[in-house]
Amino acid sequence: MLISSLQFPDLVDTVGRMHEMGEYLVEDLAEVKKLYKVENIPAHTGTQRIHDEYDTETYARLKIEGGDASKVQAIKGWSKTATMRRFAAEIDLTHEMSKFATSDSNLVNKMTALSKYCPQRMALDLTHRFTFATSTSYVDMDGETIDVSMGSDTGTALVDSTQDLTGSTATYSTVITGTPAFSKGAYQVARERANTQIVSNFGERRVYNFKSVVTSDDPATIDAVQILKRSTTDPTQNNQGVVNTYSGSFEHIILPRLATTATGAYDSSKAKWWFYVAEEASMYLDIYENSYMKAQDEDVHNDNITFGTRGAYAICAVVARGILGSCPA
């Protein structure tokens, strides 16, 4: 890419192209977005969205000859309001750097970094719903208190042993029993939990499609997942032809920012945390402004050029149903 002897319009165009690549340069953003229901919010429609849960009874009833059909009940579940937050970052370039920079300067690095600021913050915020899964709130790097509780009356955490229902006094648990590190046995426990702890607001069992195992980038945990998922037998051994029944049974999603503090620093206490997530999980990402670039004209006093990035989104989880977590100490 030719960046020497750049004039200002060319520089803006170059930065714009780099910025369009920004989200694709943050690989874990694409991974964590798989766990959310993503919606682009139209302009001029407010800064909040209420996400509601509704339930109906599950089964039809016997209809006798000549008799009326049974009426099934519908019930409103929990609600959660997602409020937009806007993010920004800027860098200044001197006139000399923008006009006389050569290909071995740090200009490209600065521009590429700028394009990743908002996507990286989104990846962190989305991941922190799992990082702080045992809490109902946390204080982020900006000093803001972030509500990560569920929509229930008691405001439970995402991973909690007593999740409430609106149409029954029963509760269900999103804790993988024993909070074990990942292993074949631990995965079996998670599957059992998926069979018994997914219930409607009437207390009836529901069948969800659990398709993702979510972990940090802890090497031992990654190895344990990959061995279970991909291991095969040596065809020269006596057990040749044995099929790995776990192959293809789930997708492994690795979130490098899972084991972090609220400011994004490494947190070893969460390195072994992992989650079993269903396709039906009620986690939402509302995008109000996709990350974009803006440029300010030359400052008349010093000839500096300011480049900025902006983005706006909202995150919420309505109910914990469909997400099971193991958070070993």
Structure tokens at 293: 């670039």
Beta strand spans in 128-237 (E): 137-139, 145-147, 163-164, 171-172, 210-215
Specify the residue for token string 């690095």. 109
Q: What is the pLDDT of residue 293?
A: 84
User: Is residue 70 one of the residues assigned to a domain?
Assistant: no
User: Is residue 118 one of the residues assigned to a domain?
Assistant: yes
Cα 237–chain centre separation: 42
Q: What is the CATH number of the domain that holds 107?
A: 3.90.1690
Mean pLDDT of the chain: 88
d(CA 25, CA 116): 7
pTM above 0.95, yes or no: no
User: Is residue 317 one of the residues assigned to a domain?
Assistant: yes
Q: What is the pLDDT of residue 247?
A: 76
Q: How far apart are the first and last CA of the chain?
A: 49
Residue 218 CB coordination number (10 Å):
21
* Residues of the chain predicted below pLDDT 70: 1-20, 97-109, 111-112, 231-243
Q: What is the pLDDT of residue 104?
A: 47
Q: What is the pLDDT of residue 20?
A: 67
User: Is residue 62 one of the residues assigned to a domain?
Assistant: no
β-pairing verdict for 48-56 and 74-83 = antiparallel
User: Is residue 1 one of the residues assigned to a domain?
Assistant: no
Nearest to 156 by CA among 295, 264, 317, 282: 317
Structure tokens at 77: 């579940």
Amino acid identity of 107?
L
> What's the domain range around 194?
8-53+79-326
Buried b (16+ CB within 10 A) or exposed e, 89-114: beeebeeebbbebeeeeebbebbebb
User: Is residue 59 one of the residues assigned to a domain?
Assistant: no
List, for residues 217-249, the tens digit of each pLDDT value: 999 999 999 989 876 555 455 565 566 777 778
d(CA 318, CA 152): 8
User: Is residue 72 one of the residues assigned to a domain?
Assistant: no
Q: Which three-class secondary structure state does DSSP give residue 288?
A: strand
Nearest to 53 by CA among 209, 200, 210: 200
**Following DSSP, what letter does each residue of 62-96 receive, concatenated?**
---TTPPPPPPPEEEEEEEEEE-EEEEEEEEE-HH
Q: What is the pLDDT of residue 246?
A: 78
Q: What is the pLDDT of residue 5?
A: 37
Could you give the number of structural domains in the chain?
Answer: 1
Amino acid identity of 324?
L
Nearest to 51 by CA among 238, 256, 286: 286
Q: What is the pLDDT of residue 92?
A: 82
User: Is residue 267 one of the residues assigned to a domain?
Assistant: yes
